[in-house]
Amino acid sequence: MKIVRTTAEIRVLVADARRKNLSVGLVPTMGALHDGHLSHVRRAREENGLVVVSIFVNPLQFGPSEDLDAYPRDEAGDTRLLAGEGADLVFAPATEEVHPHDRATTVTVGGLSEVLEGARRPGHFDGVCTVVAKLLNIVAPDRVYFGQKDAQQVAVLGRMVQDLGFPVEMVVGPIVRESNGLAMSSRNAYLSSEERKRATALFKALQAGSPFAAAGDFAGASNEMLRVLRSATGVEPDYATAVDADSFGPPEPGGRILLVVAARVGPARLIDNLLVEVENT
Ligand code: AMP
């Protein structure tokens, strides 16, 4: 496994692989890797001849009052884990290599980017889209791997890939959870063991809301999720609602229904979601 810092070098190494007819899979991450990230690396390993994992804490997707400086970083630990999964290249560039100081271009996906996470974190999805567009152009993978953990990010990036015609297949992997149901997240590192227990309220809320949503009672689902979150000690709910999984607007007849929650637990703002199995009537 090789650690690569520059765009020029990654392009050369990917071109070498292409000459050998290897397909290329890219797993974009911000590092502080856990089993959720590694699930995508494993799948990429199964499906591609060359596996590239990017580790880049993207400043563009953090708001001015967010946790950019505190965000967990552990490149040595990450590279050990990635070597264990058989990744080929770790692309870990400096900020300036990806975003030159005179960058004048931003990628924006309208509508979808402005609700829920987008409304609470202005500019967040612009930052995500701009960096992912750049990574796709640098690495030019056949497949790019994302997690359903960040469901709205998946929907936004899906639109970007479709609207701008990126020649890549987006592969979305399921949410990996701790045994107590807590969705794995690099930000869980901010939590004490007591707060980690409290944070299981997010998944419990989703599970409690699911039967309501499955029966078409979306207001009931939202109320039930908020009830569960409010009744948990040390959990401050932000939102809990049912949306159409693709548009992130109101649930649509025949569409996939997604329950989404966000809450603050101690120092961390956490998100989680659950696709609803609709009852056949
Ligand atoms: P991040 O490093 O948080 O930007 O995440 C990198 C990728 O891993 C994104 O596509 C995330 O959606 C995905 N990811 C993060 N947590 C999980 C999880 N618990 N299960 C599956 N995928 C995840």
Query: CATH number, domain at 133?
Result: 3.40.50.620
Best residue for ligand 1 mutational test, from 128, 150, 184 (most atoms within 8 Å of Cβ) = 150
Gap from CA of 121 to ligand 1 centroid (Å)? 18
Gap from CA of 36 to ligand 1 centroid (Å)? 6
Over range 92-105, report the average pLDDT.
98
Q: If pLDDT is split at 50, 70 and 90, which confidence band does 280 have?
A: low
DSSP, res 177: B
Gap from CA of 216 to ligand 1 centroid (Å)? 29
Instruction: Report whether pLDDT(17) > 60.
Output: yes
Pairwise CA distance, residues 155 & 93, whole Å: 26
Q: Whose CA is nearest to atom 22 of ligand 1?
A: 147
Q: Does residue 37 carry a catalytic annotation? A: yes
Are 169 and 193 within one domain?
A: no
Q: What is the mean pLDDT of the chain?
A: 97
Minimum-distance ligand 1 atom for the alpha carbon of 150: 12
Q: If pLDDT is split at 50, 70 and 90, which confidence band does 100 have?
A: very high
Q: What is the pLDDT of residues 115-153, one digit of tens each?
A: 999 999 999 999 999 999 999 999 999 999 999 999 999
DSSP, res 190: G
Pairwise CA distance, residues 54 & 29, whole Å: 6
Go through 22-33 and write b for each residue having 16 or more CB atoms within 10 A of its CB, e for each that does not: bbbbbbbbbbbb
Which pTM was predicted?
Answer: 0.97
Pairwise CA distance, residues 102 & 99, whole Å: 8
Does residue 94 lie within any of the structural domains?
A: yes
Does residue 181 lie within any of the structural domains?
A: no
Tokens of 117: 């996470």
Of the residues 37, 40, 99, 124, which is catalytic?
37
pLDDT of residue 254: 86
User: For the chain, how many structural domains are there in total?
Assistant: 2
Does residue 121 lie within any of the structural domains?
A: yes
Are 145 and 190 within one domain?
A: no
Gap from CA of 280 to ligand 1 centroid (Å)? 31
Q: What is the domain-level CATH number for residue 243?
A: 3.30.1300.10
Are 216 and 77 within one domain?
A: no
Are 256 and 162 within one domain?
A: no
Over range 195-201, report the average pLDDT.
98
Give ligand 1 pocket residues (Cβ under 6 A).
29-30, 36-37, 39-40, 146-147, 149-150, 173, 175-176, 183-186
Range of the domain at 135: 2-173
Does residue 122 lie within any of the structural domains?
A: yes
pLDDT of residue 118: 98
Are 55 and 154 within one domain?
A: yes
Over range 45-59, report the average pLDDT.
98
Pairwise CA distance, residues 51 & 115, whole Å: 33
| Exposure of 228 in the CB half-sphere (CA atoms within 13 A) | 23
Q: What is the pLDDT of residues 157-190, one digit of tens each?
A: 999 999 999 999 999 999 999 999 999 999 999 9
Residues in the chain: 281
Minimum-distance ligand 1 atom for the alpha carbon of 184: 19
